[in-house]
Amino acid sequence: MAKVIIYPTNSLILSDMVERFGHEPLAMMEKIKEIINTVGVDSPPLNITPEGPKHGLKYAAVEVPAGVRGRMSLIGPMIDLAEAGIIVGDSSFSFGCMGCARTNELTKFLIREKDIPLLEIQYPHTEEEGQDFVYKIAEFLKSLPSGSDEK
């Protein structure tokens, strides 16, 4: 089983596919669930406090806007853990939406920077492209080590 970072990081479809092929998706939903359940922190809606952007300094310099660094405080640690990655380019909002273009650029850059198996694929617009899209992702996921001991 490999830890697979997905982009867009909140894509339910991608997350589900990774899981179906026996791997662990590194996705925003899980991360958000984790922080909103943090006992003792009450900063709705996402429970991100001013500490978040400070933690984001590990991934982006201080002159980068607080919103980018706050997002990177969630996404950055996931990239650190990633053993493989899937980046879907030009996807529609319904497939997953990251909100901030600067965060998107940095996220994709940091994933590409890592020496991990990576699939970069464009979002499909026709049925034929859709089938090819699913096939390529499936083949990529099948190619990843299936057991944690095989890493």
Partner 1 sequence: MSDKGDPVLVALVSCGSEYAGVQSELEKAASMLNAKLVYPEMDVATLDTIGMEFGLEVASPDLRLMMARAKAVVEGVAKVDGVFVTSCFRCAEAAIVRNELRRYIFEKSGLPVISYSFTERTTAATLLTRLEALTTIARRKHLLARMNQTGITAGIDSGSTTTKAVVMKDNEIVGEGWVPTIKVLESAETALQQALDQAGLKREDIQAIGTTGYGRFLVGEHFKADLVQEEITVNSKGAVFLADKQKGPATVIDIGGMDNKAISVQDGIPGMFTMGGICAGASGRFLEMTAKRLGVEITDLGDLAIKGMGENVEMNSYCIVFGIQSLVNSLAKGSSPEDVAAAACHSVVEQIFEQQLQEVEVKEPLILVGGSSLIAGVPKALGDLLKIDVIVPPHSQLIGAVGAALLASGYVSE
What six digits make up the tokens of 39?
A: 């006992």
With CB under 8 A as the contact rule, the residue among 12, 36, 54, 114 that binds partner 1 is: 54
Residues 105-134 that bind partner 1 (CB under 8 A): none
**How far apart (Å, rounded) are the C-alpha atoms in residues 10 and 59?**
19
Report yes or no: 34 and 52 within 8 Å, Cβ to Cβ: no
Q: Which of 43, 116, 119, 124 binds partner 1 (CB under 8 A)?
A: 43
Pick the binder of partner 1 from 101, 113, 115, 126 (CB under 8 A): 101
Residue 50 interacts with partner 1 (CB under 8 A): yes or no: yes
CB 46 within 8 A of CB 29: no
Rounded to whole angstroms, how far apart are CA atoms 57 and 126? 41
Nearer to partner 1, 19 or 108 (CB): 108
Tokens 């997905």, residue located = 6
- Closer to partner 1 by CB, 64 or 116: give it: 64
Instruction: Give the residues lining the site for partner 1 (CB under 8 A).
Output: 42-46, 48-54, 63-71, 92-93, 97-102, 104
